Amino acid sequence: MNIQEVLSAKVKEAIFTIFNVELPTVEFQPTRKDFEGDVTVVVFPMLRFVKGNPELIGKQVGEFLQENVEEVSGFNVVKGFLNIVISDSYYLGFFNKIKGERDFGYVPETGNEAVMVEYSSPNTNKPLHLGHIRNNLLGYSVAEILKASGKKVYKTQIINDRGIHICKSMLAWQRFGNGETPASSGLKGDKLVGNYYVAFDKAYKAEVAEMIAGGVEKEVAEKEAPLLKEAQEMLRKWEAGDDEVVTLWKRMNGWVYKGFEETYKNLGVDFDQLYFESDTYLLGKDVVADGLEKGVFYKKEDGSVWIDLTEEGLDEKIVLRSDGTAVYMTQDIGTAIQRVKDYPDVTGMVYTVGNEQDYHFKVLFLILKKLGFSWAGRLHHLSYGMVDLPSGKMKSREGTVVDADDLMDDMSQTAATISEELGKLEEYTDAEKQVLYQMIGLGALKYYILKVDPKKRILFNPEESVDFQGNTGPFIQYTYARIQSILRKANEIDNVWSSTVDTSMPLHLKEKELLKQIQLFPETIQLAAENYSPALIANYTYDLVREFNSFYQQVSILGESDAQKKIRRVQLSKKVGEVIQSAFLLLGIQVPERM
């Protein structure tokens, strides 16, 4: 039981004892820095149940707590706020309990709840780009946070490996490729295929321009251009199982998958299960037929099938075309159901998809509820804003996207430039420097993206992200490395790791503030899991690091003359380092031993 739970029960007991009133809830907040105290009880909400002056009520409750709660060593009342001072012995007892817990804050998997988290889900006609990076980092981090909160997690993606966009790359390769392969070109497979997607767009635009110059209206030219017609015919052949088209499709997709695997490895994300749209695009049609019989859907005169969601504030949505072919909604309904069949312990799903699909997921979740699936109430759309660069918006067809691999390389190079300017790495070998540059560069990229609430749009500034000061990944990595330096020097101290901290020895204010921040870590993991927000973990870690640096500047650690205090401060530094590392693991970020 944490201190707020103890105080909550005792505040309710105080109100009942003094006023004979049962208080349903107690509202807490951190004590403001300009007042003495560690936890503040807000008295004003109590006035709905207890009549009287809020300052007097606060004083009476404070006196009761000081007399009846051993952890409370003092209090003061400021207007309607009861500021409670928690004893040093409480925090030292807490520290003795958790200092040996390497996985402090993490909850073991209970086995009661399994969640499937979907992220990435790229198209196989182009390499991953900056938008995919935010998607992957969010999905992976949320999966790790949910794991740490005690849930079983399956990481998955659905690869969009079919459709007209895939056929455009295939057709362009047939037309212009001259048999080029990743091996012959020296290009990653996803980049090679992406080049042909761009090549198709250029050739298509040239055809459209030529038709317009010949007197054809623009709209007609865009629909009737021979290259587009040929791509559409290729898609029809693919759907009919044409051997030649399917063989080419498998070959080019194979190139892309190898390229994706390399990018995922470099980015540090992984998956437990892959789904392919080519396998799932026919799923859901039988569910629609069943829903039609049950009256969930209705059929229009042209034979198309719809659902009416106007009573729920949405609109009418098509789930099957008049020719019997599926739409994306049909496929998503079928895929969700298939996943639960594949993993019967799944009780919820998280879809990491950009906010342009907000409406789609509202409709999907509502349809699944209406179809009567018990797990439909535990579906979540992890909606996120786009990532912009100072240079402007990205366009895949025109080849102006910010390539994920290039961005990661650029981040490492930016880290190298800044590190060398600061002169921090004189003792490193060239090989060690390269490993560290990659760790700093990727840490900067991941932290910059994950520290922002997922719903917000981001303007990503690479140089700003690699700053060694302020709310950045490198600043936190540098603090971790500083702690490791302290610990290496402390190894010479007798019994430094085995000693138990004396709970009767008073704490320095900065030690106490640090312990209060450490104590928030388990709660922060749970909040981040409930809100699907890595930003809560990122900003918690920054607050912890700021608190540690304030402690480091104002309190002697290795220079402390009192042996017990020295050991306590070294052990406290070690725990801070462990929490930083644990928190950064949830964000997919590594921390360096030296920097």
**Residue boundaries of the structural domains of the chain:** 3-86, 404-586
Give the distance from CA 161 to its chain's centroid. Answer: 25
Instruction: Answer yes or no: are the C-beta atoms of 588 and 268 closer than 8 Å.
Output: yes
Instruction: Answer yes or no: are the C-beta atoms of 168 and 230 closer than 8 Å.
Output: no
pLDDT at 101: 94
pLDDT at 424: 66
Average of per-residue pLDDT across 216-230: 96
- Taking only the tens place, the pLDDT of each residue in 504-536 is 999 999 999 999 999 999 999 999 999 999 999
Is the model's pLDDT at 399 over the cut of 70?
Answer: no
**71-85, 101-115, 203-217, 580-594, range with the lowest pLDDT:** 101-115
Beta bridge partners, 380, equal 350
Is the model's pLDDT at 483 over the cut of 70?
Answer: yes
Helix axes 3-19, 54-68, angle to 10 degrees: 120
CATH number of this structure's domain 3-86: 3.30.1360.70
pLDDT at 429: 87
pLDDT at 227: 97
Query: What whole-number distance in Å separates Cα of residue 306 and Cα of residue 292?
Result: 9
Query: What whole-number distance in Å separates Cα of residue 187 and Cα of residue 173?
Result: 14
404-586: which CATH architecture?
Orthogonal Bundle (1.10)
pLDDT at 71: 95
Is the model's pLDDT at 392 over the cut of 60?
Answer: no
Query: What whole-number distance in Å separates Cα of residue 6 and Cα of residue 558?
Result: 35
Average of per-residue pLDDT across 101-119: 92
pLDDT at 426: 72
- Residue pointed to by tokens 């993606």: 157
The Cα-based distances of 105 to 14, 93, 408, 497, 573 in angstroms read: 31, 17, 31, 21, 17
pLDDT at 391: 64
Average of per-residue pLDDT across 167-171: 97
> 307 in helix, strand or coil?
strand
Higher pLDDT, 324 or 216: 216
If you average pLDDT over every residue of the chain, what do you get?
94
pLDDT band at 400 (very low <50, low <70, confident <90, very high): low
> 327 in helix, strand or coil?
coil
- Taking only the tens place, the pLDDT of each residue in 256-269 is 999 999 999 999 99
**175-184, 244-253, 329-338, 453-462, range with the lowest pLDDT:** 453-462
Percent residues over pLDDT 90 in the chain: 86
pLDDT at 281: 87
- Residue pointed to by tokens 């899991």: 529
- Taking only the tens place, the pLDDT of each residue in 274-311 is 999 999 988 999 999 999 999 999 999 999 999 999 99
- Taking only the tens place, the pLDDT of each residue in 43-77 is 999 999 999 999 999 999 999 999 999 999 999 99
Amino acid letter for position 194: G
| Residues 6+ positions from 170 with CB-CB distance below 8 Å | 196, 234, 245, 248, 249, 252
Average of per-residue pLDDT across 543-562: 96
pLDDT band at 487 (very low <50, low <70, confident <90, very high): very high
Average of per-residue pLDDT across 101-120: 92
- Residue pointed to by tokens 């360096």: 592
